[in-house]
Amino acid sequence: MSCDKFKDLLMGYLDDEISEQERVELEKHLTECDECTKELADFKDLKSITDDITLYQPEDEVFDQYWSSIYNRIERAAGWIILSVSGMVLLFYAGYMMIEEIIHDETLSWVFKGALLAFIAALSVLLVSVLRERLNTRKKDRYKDVRR
Ligand SMILES: [Zn+2]
């Protein structure tokens, strides 16, 4: 058998995928052929590298999950911000229309009008404060996750 024939067997030899007869012939040839022995050593190095790559694959999956969870969090944070901002705009707008109507209603007393204005102003301040607290808590949560 020529060297080329044995070189074709080397990969299969490392993976234990050649016949008993082929294995015996190859091992015999390896004892008397430096070139094929060197090639086998190269294949062994290559195989250990590809084995390492195979070992890293599960970690890649964890990495993918990590990124998809980050993406989910960004999505949720964006949802919260849009919800808060649009809710505030709706409230301010509804409040504004209410004030307009009530201020021009001559049958209502100024005490009621003043109390209502104060109530709406306080509500707006509280909403902004709650939103700001939410955003601050979010930032702290993010650092907590990194430490974990
Ligand atoms: Zn050879």
Neighbouring C-alpha atoms within 13 Å toward the C-beta of 29: 22
Per-residue pLDDT of the chain (148 residues), as tens digits, is 589 989 989 989 988 899 999 999 999 999 999 999 999 999 888 888 777 766 666 667 777 777 788 888 888 888 888 888 888 888 888 878 877 887 787 787 888 888 888 888 888 788 878 877 877 776 666 555 555 4
Burial of 29 (0-12, 13-18, 19+ CB in 10 A): middle
* Residue count of the chain: 148
Centre of ligand 1 to C-alpha 49, Å, is 24
Cα(33) to centroid of ligand 1, in Å?
A: 5
- How much is the pTM? 0.37
CA–centroid distance, 12 to ligand 1, in Å, is 15
Kindly list the domain boundaries of the chain, sorted by start residue.
33-147
